[in-house]
A and B are shown apart, each in its own frame.
Chain A
Amino acid sequence: MELHTIEKLVEKYFSGETSVAEEKQLKDYFSSSDVAPHLEQYRAVFGYFRQAKQEQFTKTVPLHPRKHSYVVWITVAASVAVLLGTFYIMNHKPEQPQDLGTFDNPELAFEETQKALNMVSENVNEGVKSINYVNEYNQTTKTIFK
């Protein structure tokens, strides 16, 4: 390309009046091997712009497909279910059978009651017997640590 036109273009370039096509012409000229010596100083600028355009974005973009929101809702539903389940199990103990049977004959009932009470008292006596040891122990310590 004629040197004269290039000089003009360079001038226009620095006053911000060149079109994109003209700037491309300049870039082509300055990337060629025969740049006029007095224009050599601009070579770096245009070379740099060319080179700067080569850089690429290599990182991947973490795009979550729409399904994502369903997964969230399923998680929420599952945790609610687990929570309710635990709550139900904690509060709902298996019921004890309430009906233990009854006696129609008062005499028989009396005998049975007495039997039951005897059993209780026997157990109590047995318990008291073992407490006697403790009394013995207390007395002994009293005699020693006086």
Chain B
Amino acid sequence: MNQQEFVNLISPFKDKLFRMAKRLLVSTEEAEDATQEVLVKLWKNNNVLSNYSSVEAFAMTMTKNYCLDQLKSKRASNLQIVHSNYSDRTASVQRQIEDKDSWDWVEKIMETLPEQQRLIIQMRDVEEYEFAEIAKIMDMSETAVRVALSRARKEIREQLVKKHNYGITYN
């Protein structure tokens, strides 16, 4: 596989890798580094890529594992993940600001979810993967994926409703 073919191969899903990495690592810079790392690893193994039925699923699994490792080593060394990419409020229309605000809530609520649920929500609700694909990437049964997904969605709903009812605009 030459460079061009490889770029063509990864271009449909490289954004997905990045978004998944960001879901776990939160910081944009770290997510970018992680994605880069995974893609370079993929390129180095490009002679065996044809053995995989779905390179995308393989890459997603790699990204998941890489980010989890990253988080583990961070925790072990007591380092805080630094991120400064929460809000960029340039919207002028009030509705837009409100939307952005509530999206920020959703994002923050998602950050409180366990990593597994975060990944599943990301793959299902953002990337719209089928359960079979998620089960393969997560190395779980489809039923377990459904259960975790339902739990995560309900948790998001619960926390969001709480915020609405209390009228808290920002936590």
Contacts and interface: CB of A to CB of B under 8 A. Distances in A.
Contacts of A48: 102-103, 106-107
A13 B64 CA distance: 25
A56 B15 CA distance: 5
Interface in B118-171: 122, 124-130, 146-147, 149-150, 153-154, 156-157, 160-161, 164
Interface stretch (A57-65, A81-89, A114-122, A131-139): A57-65
Contact of B125 (A17, A23, A42, A59): A23
Interface residues of A, number: 28
Interface residues on B, range: 35 or more
Contact of B18 (A45, A49, A56): A56
A77 B6 CA distance: 30
Nearest to B18: A57
21 contacts: A14-B154, A16-B147, A17-B146, A20-B130, A23-B124, A41-B161, A41-B164, A42-B157, A44-B99, A44-B102, A47-B99, A49-B125, A49-B126, A52-B19, A59-B36, A61-B36, A61-B40, A62-B40, A63-B40, A63-B43, A65-B2
A128 to B, nearest CB: 79
Given A51-B103, A62-B40, 13 more contacts: A15-B150, A16-B147, A20-B130, A41-B160, A49-B125, A55-B22, A56-B18, A57-B18, A59-B32, A61-B43, A63-B3, A63-B6, A63-B7
Contact of A14 (B17, B106, B107, B150): B150
Task: Summarize B's interface: helix, strand, loop or mixed.
Answer: helix
B66 interface: no
Interface of A: 13-17, 20, 23-24, 41-45, 47-49, 51-53, 55-59, 61-63, 65
Contacts of B17: 57
Contacts of B105: 44
Contacts, number: 85
Nearest to A55: B19
A24 B128 contact: yes
B97 to A, nearest CB: 13
A105 B146 CA distance: 116
A14 B2 CA distance: 45
Contacts of A56: 15, 18
Interface in B1-56: 2-3, 6-7, 10, 14-15, 17-19, 22, 32, 35-36, 39-40, 43
